[in-house]
Amino acid sequence: MRLSSVLSDAVLLKLFEVEPFMGSKKASWGTSKPVEVGTVTRQYYCKECNSVRPFISKKKLNCLVSGPDFISIDVVLKCLDCENTVENWFLLRCANDLFGQAPSVSIVYCNEHLGTSASSLGPNNEQMQDLLDRADLGRRVGLAAGSLIYLRKHFEITTHTAAAGANVPLTTSKGRRRPFAEILKDVDEMISIIPHEFSEDGYRLFSELSEVVHGDANEELALSKFDALRRLVVGVFENVKNNSEFTKAANDLGWNTKGNI
């Protein structure tokens, strides 16, 4: 395992054996050096993209030796789709030889500085309701694209947030964004987020949302499907929110069971 995987998961106090990254030459406390550990990837809600996005680091990170068993690592992560950045700081402890061939490390402390660029995992219940309100308004004034674009955004945010909670990757091994169909399929297989009535048509209905948004569908026909599409979107949200495996993630997101969605 590379150290980047340990930092990406950010599990505290769990010991992991990793590939050597400090080199064989000993370094005293206070020594700063660049280390190549692979790309760190963490998921945040990007406020510029208005959706859950992977934030990725450069492969070379800055490491400070804090003592014979401790190091600290600063990681700047950039949104995959825009210029927003966040900063993570990790304090790690090594249980054996930090400069050996198989160091065993654990994260003692992790601090995230998200600033105004991002928030943890996803938006709160109020923001999700706002997307539905905007969709309903668009429907009332007869704007198919104007209404369905908010339903699609709601569907994407919920699915990507569930993927982050289920450790389903949003990117390929080369750091490129995975197709939404693949992410939706993987998440649904793990926690069944598609409501039963749409179990065979979940992605097809999302495709219809996309066709309207891109102007490839009849407006009148699209509006006639609004109610069914809205039920799908809300059903996915409720399934993720109410899934017992995601209680902690839901709390982190600020989702509660009293929302008026």
Q: What is the H or E stretch that residue 88 is in?
A: strand 85-94
Query: How wide is the angle at C-alpha 42 spanned by C-alphas 37 and 47, nearest 5°?
Result: 140
Q: Please, which residues bridge with residue 92 across strands?
A: 71, 107
5 versus 242: the higher-pLDDT residue is 5
The arithmetic mean of pLDDT across residues 192-210, rounded, is 71
Average pLDDT of the chain to the nearest whole number:
82
- What pLDDT is attached to residue 218? 67
pLDDT digits (tens, 9 = 90+) for 140-184: 888 877 788 888 888 888 888 888 877 888 888 777 888 888 888
For helices 226-242 and 144-165, angle between their N-to-C axes, nearest 10 degrees: 20
What's the pLDDT score for residue 251? 52
Confidence of residue 139 (pLDDT cuts 50, 70, 90): confident
Buried b (16+ CB within 10 A) or exposed e, 181-208: eebbebbbebbebbbeebeeebbebbeb
Stretch (H or E) spanning 106: strand 104-113
Q: 3-state class of 59 per DSSP?
A: coil
Q: What is the pTM of this model?
A: 0.62
Taking CA atoms, 166 is separated from 44, 80, 130, 145, in Å, by 14, 20, 25, 31
In one letter, which amino acid is 173?
A: S
Tokens 């926690």: give the residue.
191
DSSP state of 194: S
- Contact criterion met (CB below 8 Å) for 215 and 145: yes
Question: 14-18, 105-109, 203-207, 224-228: lowest mean pLDDT where?
Answer: 203-207
pLDDT of residue 167: 81
DSSP E strand stretches across the chain:
16-17, 32-36, 41-46, 51-56, 60-65, 70-79, 85-94, 104-113, 118-120
Checking if the pLDDT of 207 tops 90, the result is no
On the question of pLDDT at 215 being above 60, the answer is no
